[in-house]
Every structure is written in C-alpha cells, then in structure tokens.
C-alpha cells in the first residue's frame, strides 16, 4: 500500500483535487502547503509508480509532476498516463524541473506534459500556471 498525504481544504478553499508527484520531502512540504491554500485537496506521490497508482484510484483536476525521481521519473509516468485508454489520460500535467534547459522543456512537452516550471517556483508562477492549465490544458 502506498503512503501518501492528503490535505483537506477549509470550507473557503476550492474543491479542486491535485496530485503532487515529488520525491524531495522538503519540496513536497512547501509545495503542498502552497497548493492547499490555493487549490484545495492535495494528494502526494513520491515517484512515478506511486503517481500511476494514485491517478488510477482518484480523479484529479491537475497533476504536478517532478521530472527527476527515483523508481520511475516524471517523463515515463507522463508517457504511461498519456498512453492509457482510461479517463485520466487527458488530465493536465504540469512538469517541474530544477533544470532550466531548452531540451528539458522540449522533452516535457514531447512526452505529453501540458506545461512546465523550473524550481524554485514563485507562488505567482505556480498559481498562474495552475489556473491556465485548469482553464485550458493546452494554453500553458
């Protein structure tokens, strides 16, 4: 069974459900806190394998996917999500990377991510990207 964290919003928050896929515990804590305030429910997975388990069990409005993780990276997890015949195959995916290289950005888009951000990410960048993808997944 997968250990994961689900944070429930207070009644004033949105009821969107996001999946944060991040292997670094500190990044997970910081991002989860930000996301909970802005978006609503936040589930967490530590790698692509856990992400696939989660996305197969819950309906998500958006997946925020680190690209560099052990076990299965975000590129492979995204490929598998996009290749699936399941309803979740079209969920918007926002890639996160610590590398600000054109080839990383290109690979994010090539595997089916709808957008990407470089870490560290500001609150305004993160929330703008989330709102853009939730409004139109192909706009980011």
In a domain, 1, yes or no: no
pLDDT tens digits for 1-37? Answer: 444 544 444 333 467 899 999 999 999 999 998 898 8
**CATH label of the domain that carries residue 56:** 3.40.50.2300
Q: How far apart are CA 104 and CA 127, in angstroms?
A: 21
Q: How far apart are CA 55 and CA 115, in angstroms?
A: 18
Strand partners, 34: none
| Cα four-point dihedral sign 9, 13, 15, 21 | negative
pLDDT tens digits for 99-109? Answer: 877 888 899 99
Q: What is the dihedral of CA 126, 130, 132, 135, to 10 degrees?
A: -160
For residue 70, report the phi and psi dihedrals to the nearest 5 degrees. -75, 170
46 alpha carbon, distance to own chain's centre:
11
Strand partners, 64: 20, 94
Question: Global pTM?
Answer: 0.85
In a domain, 42, yes or no: yes
Domain that holds residue 83: 6-135
pLDDT tens digits for 24-70? Answer: 999 999 999 889 887 779 999 999 999 999 999 999 999 999 999 99
Predicted local distance difference test score (pLDDT) of residue 117? 93
Count the domains in the chain. 1
Q: What's the CA angle centered on 29, arms 24 and 33, to 5 degrees?
A: 145
32 alpha carbon, distance to own chain's centre:
11
In a domain, 66, yes or no: yes
Q: Taking a C-beta distance cutoff of 8 angstroms, is the pair 134, 126 a contact?
A: no
């Amino acid at each position: 069974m997968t250990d994961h964290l689900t944070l429930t919003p207070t009644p004033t928050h949105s009821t969107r459900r996001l999946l944060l896929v991040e292997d670094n515990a500190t990044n997970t804590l910081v991002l989860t806190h930000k996301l909970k305030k802005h978006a609503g429910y936040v589930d967490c997975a530590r790698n692509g394998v856990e992400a696939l388990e989660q996305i197969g069990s819950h309906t998500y409005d958006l997946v925020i996917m680190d690209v560099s993780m052990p076990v299965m990276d975000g590129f492979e997890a995204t490929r598998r999500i996009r290749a699936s015949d399941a309803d979740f195959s079209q969920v918007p995916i926002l890639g996160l990377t610590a590398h600000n290289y054109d080839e990383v950005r290109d690979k994010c888009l090539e595997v089916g991510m709808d957008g990407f951000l470089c870490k560290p990410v500001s609150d305004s960048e993160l929330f703008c990207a989330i709102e853009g993808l939730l409004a139109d997944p192909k706009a980011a």
